[in-house]
Every structure is written in C-alpha cells, then in structure tokens.
C-alpha cells in the first residue's frame, strides 16, 4: 500500500491516514512549499518520545518516499519535525 500526503502552506493534506495492520506500506510526501523544508515522521503517540519512522527532510518542491514496516493496530501521531505544531496528523492502523 502507498499513502500520498501533500505538504503545502505548512499543512498536511490529508492529515489523517488509514493503513492495514501487519502490512508494510509507504508514504509519499509531496512537498509543494517551494524552498521550505518538510519531512513526515510517525511516533507512537503525541508525546513524540518513541519514533516509528523519521522521514527524510526535503526542501520543496520535492517528493520523498518513506517505507514503513508493518505496524500493529493503533493510533499513531504524525508530524513534520521542522514545523512541529503546525503540521500534525494521525495514522490509524486497523
């Protein structure tokens, strides 16, 4: 499975992703903010103490693909590590 996320105007679109538990997947981040760095990172929860994936920082306009190992069922916190408060979202693993 491949999930597509656009980073534009300091927001993720969509900011909520759903994937299947136990199946590896990829996230394609399309950074459309020219000259602005973004990444996509997945954490166990909003405390962001336990990273699952820390994506590559790209300076827009650019596209990166992050490969994610199979995850157990749960709700995970997603953010851009550069814009921690503005660019957040949720990953639902079902």
Residue 76's CATH number: 2.60.40.420
Please compute, for residue 90, the number of CA atoms within 13 A of its CA located in the half-sphere on the CB side: 7
Collect the ranges in the chain with pLDDT lower than 70.
none
Query: What pLDDT score does 74 carry?
Result: 98
The residue segments making up the domain with residue 31 are 2-93
Residues 63 and 30 sit within 8 Å (Cβ to Cβ): yes
Query: What pLDDT score does 33 carry?
Result: 97
Query: What pLDDT score does 37 carry?
Result: 98
Reported pTM: 0.95
Q: Where are the beta strands (DSSP E) in the chain?
A: 2-8, 11-13, 16-19, 25-31, 37-38, 41-43, 51-54, 58-59, 62-68, 74-79, 88-93
Query: What pLDDT score does 60 carry?
Result: 92
Q: How many domains does the chain have?
A: 1
């Amino acid at each position: 499975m491949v999930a597509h996320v656009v980073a534009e105007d300091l927001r993720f679109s969509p900011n909520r992703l759903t994937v299947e538990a136990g199946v590896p997947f990829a996230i394609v981040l399309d950074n459309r903010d020219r000259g602005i760095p973004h990444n996509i990172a997945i954490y166990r929860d909003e405390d962001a103490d336990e990273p699952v994936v820390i994506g590559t920082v790209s300076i827009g306009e650019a596209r990166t693909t992050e490969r994610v190992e199979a995850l157990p069922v749960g709700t995970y916190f997603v953010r851009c590590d550069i814009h921690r408060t503005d660019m957040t979202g949720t990953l639902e693993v079902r």
